[in-house]
Amino acid sequence: MSTDLVRDAAEHRALSGEEEVAWRRYYRMQSHLLGVLNRELTQASGLSEAEYEVSAALLQQPGHKLRARELRRELLWEKSRLSHQLRRMEQRGLIRRTDCAEDSRGAIVELTAAGRRIVVQAECARVSAIRTHLIGVLSENQLAALSGISETVLHHLGIACAPHLDG
Amino acid sequence: MSTDLVRDAAEHRALSGEEEVAWRRYYRMQSHLLGVLNRELTQASGLSEAEYEVSAALLQQPGHKLRARELRRELLWEKSRLSHQLRRMEQRGLIRRTDCAEDSRGAIVELTAAGRRIVVQAECARVSAIRTHLIGVLSENQLAALSGISETVLHHLGIACAPHLDG
DNA sequence: TAAGATTGATCTATCAATCTTA
DNA sequence: TAAGATTGATAGATCAATCTTA
């Protein structure tokens, strides 16, 4: 009997006590950590999590610009999500959109000067918050374990997490 | 020099290579895991993540009912978030709200028969998804490590994560 | 006054439908 | 036809203001 069959048979069993505790702890930790990081980011820079993700991705590009298609692949976002987000950020003056020379269907997204200034501030706040609430409270072993765990889970998700990016 | 001072001084340094990798992996894993769990839940039961959290909390109560105040403490949600969510769920027929006998300000939230039927299905789907995408892909050591890491981070958040629950 | 809860406004996320160009 | 992108509708999350009762 293959281990796959064993696992399939186990998939509908209720969680064991330890599994349940681990899951509930992880779930709660994850949502609270996200919440506090988001609040500290907003307080320090005025950027939301979504605005920060877009701006930070642009900041690390040469010329602080990128095709919307590539930005979407970088963030692994749905296209409508990115489109709505870019509209709001353009209204706020954080980015601007221009036509793409090589492909008339495309859009080039570029950080404005104001956007650059703000996202640099936001990065400092984010690093500080990550140190305060995650990296600073974990041992080196724990951080290495978290990295390994994340890699493992991501690798297995590779197959399952694609569908929502098709459209 | 205390370790606290050392840590404070370190808080504004940029992340090291390993720290950066660990953080980015964790962040991406976390958002994708959440995404796939949510999609599988919705596909199997028709419930959203938010609807599931409320329904599952009610299901484990005697009589499948709870005061809104206690439900809020159970979920650690803002009160306006819960209120809006309950309105939508009442419209969908998943829960009903009745007056509280002991305190006229209070509201009792109760799963409907339809709500019970749906959340039982949803729990099966959720357990299955957790096994498939998280517990089933980690070793026993990794799962124990994740549990410990989550506990550590949660413990430190205890101080910092309260403010948004005040109102 | 403070606690429990609701409401309205705004921002975000997802889905389906659409528009334009390759 | 398919790819790149936008739009509209709907559900969810957060903030400030409000209402009622303890």
Phi, psi of B41 (to 5 degrees): -60, -50
Residues A12-34 pLDDT 10s: 789 999 999 999 999 999 999 99
Cα–Cα distance for residue pair A56/A45, rounded to 1 Å: 13
Instruction: Kindly identify which residue of chain B lies nearest to residue A18, measuring between CA atoms.
Output: B144
Considering only residues B1 and A127, tell me which one the structure prediction assigns the higher pLDDT: A127
Whether residue B165 has pLDDT greater than 90: no
Name the burial class of residue B150, with classes exposed (0-12), middle (13-18) and buried (19+) by CB atoms within 10 angstroms of its CB: buried
Whether residue B38 contacts residue B49, with contact meaning beta carbons closer than 8 Å, is answered with yes
Q: Angle CA(A64)–CA(B15)–CA(A116) in degrees, nearest 5?
A: 25
pLDDT at B9: 44
Q: What is the mean pLDDT of residues A28-43?
A: 94
In this complex, the answer to whether residue A78 has its CB under 7 A from any atom of chain C, a nucleic strand, is yes
Residue B111, strand partner residues: B95
Structure token digits, residue A62: 């040469």
Give the mean model confidence (pLDDT) for residues A103-127.
97
Query: Of B22, B26, B87, B32, whose CA–CA distance to B54 is shortest?
Result: B87
Query: Across the interface, which of A32, A150, A163 has its CB nearest the CB of B29?
Result: A150
Separation between Cα atoms, residue A61 and residue A23, nearest integer Å: 37
Rounded Cα distance between A12 and A115, Å, is: 49
pLDDT of residue A5: 44
Q: What is the residue whose two structure tokens read 């089933």?
A: B136
Least-confidence region, from A3-7, B77-81, B94-98, B156-160 = A3-7
**Nucleotide showing the shortest C1' distance to residue A97 CA:** D5
Quick one: pLDDT at residue A100?
97
pLDDT for res B158: 82
Question: What is the distance in angstroms measured between the alpha-carbon CA of B107 and the sugar C1' of D19?
Answer: 15
Cα gap A45→A37, rounded to integer Å: 12
- In this model, does residue A6 exceed pLDDT 50? no
User: What is residue B137's predicted lDDT score, i.e. its pLDDT?
Assistant: 97
| Residue B165 touches chain A, beta carbons under 8 Å | no
pLDDT for the residue A96: 97
User: Chain A residue with minimal CA distance to B137?
Assistant: A153
